[in-house]
């Protein structure tokens, strides 16, 4: 019947059996029979006929509206279906905690879009507990968080270990020290991550355990802003090792310094997604690319 509805719509749009028959490549008698059979099947008259002139009945107008809706829905369905046939994923929503947004996401997004250039990637950001809730409640398909989590109904795949490192400009006095301890950070001008974030809580807990009282000059929620400001205000910062790209350290004017106590800040960045096997094609593609980017070198 849906093909007949398309034929009926063509007759309406051409306002003539003769013109519609030419467009449909059907003889006019064959077209008339198809319209008559559709009317018989529906049990109504779709047209009032005045010689060669056709005029839609009220139910004919209703049927034409329905035919247009079916045409639109079929077009959307075929477009979506074609993407599956081509192996291209559909829209996928990725949730990322604020810290992973700046460390983990850039290489992942680049790899995903390079492999699936026609893909649609939507990003939701928030704190770790917000991303966990987002994935649990279905608002995000997949999530990346900077800690290992145990949440009913979610799978948690460890991607890599990370820890904080002391970062200063290459001309900072601390670069001359043979060995550093947390005591060296007391009264040291520092830029810290904003309060309320996971990295800031971890930093504050470390300072409390070690009895360290730094001179906090700024609190910023952007790693990029922090590294740009370090040389200007001659301060130090604690940044995740995963963020310290070679271009920042080799010729970038920054130095990463080792402090034994910072090993206590080691955390695992993880991929999370529903464990009920209900992942969409797009979500499975994103999970696969994530594992390729972060786990291949570990094998």
Q: Kindly state the average pLDDT of the residues 202-220.
A: 94
Measured distance CA(147)–CA(18) in Å, rounded: 70
Q: Which of 69-73, 175-179, 180-184 has the highest mean pLDDT?
A: 180-184
- The model's pTM is 0.63
pLDDT tens profile 142-170? 999 988 888 899 999 999 998 999 999 99
Note the residue count of the chain. Answer: 299
Q: Taking 80 as the threshold, does the pLDDT of residue 48 lie above it?
A: yes
Measured distance CA(35)–CA(16) in Å, rounded: 12
Q: Kindly state the average pLDDT of the residues 96-105.
A: 81
Q: Taking 80 as the threshold, does the pLDDT of residue 181 lie above it?
A: yes
Which backbone phi and psi does 58 adopt, to 5 degrees?
Answer: -60, -45
Q: Which pair of tokens denotes residue 97?
A: 């905690």
CA distances (Å), 85 to each of 30, 75, 106, 130, 281, in order? 35, 15, 28, 35, 12
CA distances (Å), 194 to each of 4, 55, 219, 226, in order? 64, 70, 5, 11
CA distances (Å), 265 to each of 143, 172, 226, 268, in order? 22, 23, 19, 10
Least confident window among 46-50, 63-67, 134-138, 179-183: 46-50
Q: Residue 261's closest CA among 182, 186, 166? A: 182
List domains and CATH numbers for the chain.
2-85 (1.10.10.10), 93-150+271-298 (3.40.190.10), 164-265 (3.40.190.290)
Q: Kindly state the average pLDDT of the residues 80-98.
A: 73
Tell me if 171 sits within 8 A of 131, measured CB to CB: no
pLDDT tens profile 215-245? 999 999 888 899 999 989 899 999 988 888 8
Alpha-carbon torsion (222, 227, 232, 237), positive or negative: positive
Least confident window among 103-112, 167-176, 178-187: 103-112
Tell me if 95 sits within 8 A of 146, measured CB to CB: no
Q: Residue 257's closest CA among 202, 189, 175? A: 175
The better pLDDT of the pair 117, 263 is held by 263
pLDDT tens profile 268-294? 999 999 988 778 888 989 999 999 998
- When the pLDDT of each residue in the chain is averaged and rounded to a whole number, the result is 87
Measured distance CA(40)–CA(32) in Å, rounded: 12
pLDDT tens profile 51-62? 777 889 999 899
Percent of the chain with pLDDT over 90: 42
**Strand ranges across the sheet with 236-240:** 215-220, 189-193, 236-240, 164-169, 254-257
> What is the structure's pLDDT at 299?
47
Measured distance CA(175)–CA(256) in Å, rounded: 9
Alpha-carbon torsion (231, 232, 238, 243), positive or negative: negative
Q: Residue 247's closest CA among 125, 109, 115, 106? A: 106
CA distances (Å), 96 to each of 40, 125, 285, in order? 57, 5, 17
> What is the structure's pLDDT at 116?
86
Q: Taking 50 as the threshold, does the pLDDT of residue 78 lie above it?
A: yes
> What is the structure's pLDDT at 120?
87
DSSP for 54-74?
EEE-HHHHHHHHHHHHHHHHH
Q: Taking 50 as the threshold, does the pLDDT of residue 77 lie above it?
A: yes
Cα torsion for 66, 72, 75, 76, to the nearest 10°?
Answer: -120
Q: Taking 60 as the threshold, does the pLDDT of residue 130 lie above it?
A: yes
């Amino acid at each position: 019947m849906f093909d007949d509805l398309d034929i009926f719509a063509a007759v309406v749009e051409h306002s003539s059996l003769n013109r519609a028959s030419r467009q449909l490549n059907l003889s006019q008698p064959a077209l008339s029979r198809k319209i008559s059979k559709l009317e018989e099947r529906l049990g109504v008259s779709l047209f009032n006929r005045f010689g060669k002139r056709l005029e839609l009945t009220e139910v004919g107008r209703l049927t034409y509206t329905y035919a247009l809706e079916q045409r639109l829905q079929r077009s959307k369905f075929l477009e979506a279906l074609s993407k599956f046939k081509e192996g291209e994923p559909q829209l996928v929503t990725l949730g990322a905690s604020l810290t992973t947004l700046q460390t983990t996401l850039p290489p992942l997004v680049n790899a995903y879009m390079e492999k699936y250039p026609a893909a649609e990637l939507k990003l939701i950001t928030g704190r770790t507990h917000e991303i966990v809730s987002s994935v649990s409640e279905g608002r995000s398909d997949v999530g990346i968080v900077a800690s290992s989590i145990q949440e009913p109904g979610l799978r948690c795949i460890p991607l890599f270990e990370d820890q904080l490192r002391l970062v200063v400009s290459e001309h900072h006095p601390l670069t001359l020290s043979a060995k550093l301890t947390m005591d060296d950070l007391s009264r040291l001008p520092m830029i810290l991550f904003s309060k309320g974030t996971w990295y800031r809580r971890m930093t504050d807990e470390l300072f409390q355990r070690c009895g360290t009282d730094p001179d906090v000059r700024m609190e910023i929620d952007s790693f990029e802003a922090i590294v740009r400001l370090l040389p200007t205000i001659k301060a130090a910062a604690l940044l995740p090792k995963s963020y310290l790209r070679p271009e920042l350290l080799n010729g970038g004017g920054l130095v990463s310094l080792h402090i034994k106590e910072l090993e206590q800040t080691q955390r695992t960045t993880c991929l999370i997604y529903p464990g009920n096997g209900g992942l969409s094609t797009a979500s499975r593609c994103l999970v696969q690319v994530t594992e390729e980017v972060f786990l291949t070198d570990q094998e």
